[in-house]
Homo-oligomer: A and B are copies of this chain.
Amino acid sequence: MSINLPYLLFLGDAWDDLSAKTAIGVYQWRPDACVGQLRLPGCVPSVDLPELTIAEGRERGARTLLVGVVNRGGVFSQAWIDTMVAALEAGMDIASGLHARLGDIPAVAETARRCGRRLHDVRHPEGDFPIGSGAPRNGRRLLTVGTDCSVGKMYTTLCLHRAFAARGVDSDFRATGQTGIFIEGSGVAVDAIVSDFMSGAIEQLCPAADHDHWDLIEGQGSLFHPSYAGVSLGLLHGAQPDTLVLCHEPTRTHMRGLPGRALPDLASCIEANLAAARVVSGDVRFAGVSINTKDLEEKAARTLLESCEKELGLPCIDPARDGADRIVDAIL
């Protein structure tokens, strides 16, 4: 899936930051790829971009309307549909991460067909994916893995990508979730793929490359999360990483969505990921640990990072506090 940039961000009638988190995340990481925002009456959240109509967005070069909002109750309001139709008629494509398909909205589907525009439903990957082979391939590959879902794997991967780029290292960010795909303009939503093709889709996403090229691959889920561990393993095997970075959120009291289920300790999580990765990547190793300490005071954060570092013998950082340089040092 390859999306034409830049975006006009559509925040619709979002009622809080969480309901517009896709738009906010894309703006945070790719302000250069966003020409403006379009908000309907009643929309609460906002990003620091000009408010544009469809026509103004198109004038400023927007090539895709990004539906960066979740819809209340799972239904599209007529106001959304009118905006989408206008965007298509103005010459934009539309990209969405909603469960509902853009192509299932008759007016949107008909207009896209008539105007020759593309509809990108990142939760509904199209096309044929191969079966994974596990065959060794050239190039360097780093994958972020986690103790749990939503612990900062995309954030850490993007920080690493910035740090690699700052040093002039040839690297690509490889997105595997919807926000990452919008940020990069390409990628594959691995959890939306038919399970037989998970590892093959990831092999296709990060193919053989020059021996000094790095693919920095966004991880998903956790080998210890019983809802999603299969996805995490398919992704791990498809990625064939030589380098892993463990991501963790230390204030979490239970696995996401599963009250009462404890998180794994970091050492067990490292060991399980190494064992699983060795099926495809004999020399795989961890380069560091990324801990999201946003809910800790500075002193508590420092103490935690130092004690983890001592226990694990790996650089332990919070990229939001210090950037990802220490892990990049360990890698390069």
Contact = CB atoms under 8 A, between A and B. Distances in A.
Contact of A229 (B133, B227, B234): B234
A237 interface: yes
B229 A200 contact: no
B224 A229 contact: no
A193 interface: yes
Contacts of A25: none
Given A195-B191, A228-B196, A133 B234 contact: no
B192 A193 contact: no
Interface string A130-169: 0111110000000000000000000000000000000000
Interface stretch (A54-62, A64-72, A272-280): A272-280
Given A192-B195, A194-B192, A233-B233, A200 B224 contact: no
A227 B199 CA distance: 6
Contacts of A181: none
Interface in A3-52: none
Interface in A171-203: 190-196, 198-200
Interface in A54-98: none
B227 A131 contact: yes
A232 B229 CA distance: 10
A261 interface: yes
A118 to B, nearest CB: 22
Given A275-B272, A279-B224, A195 B231 contact: yes
Question: Which interface residue of A191, A275, A279 has the most chain B CB atoms within 10 A?
Answer: A279
Contacts of A194: 191-195
Contacts of A207: none
Nearest to A268: B275
Interface in A215-231: 223-231
11 contacts: A191-B196, A195-B230, A196-B228, A199-B228, A226-B237, A229-B276, A230-B234, A230-B235, A230-B237, A231-B234, A275-B275
Given A198-B231, A199-B228, 12 more contacts: A132-B227, A134-B227, A135-B258, A191-B195, A192-B194, A195-B230, A199-B227, A229-B279, A230-B232, A230-B233, A230-B234, A230-B235
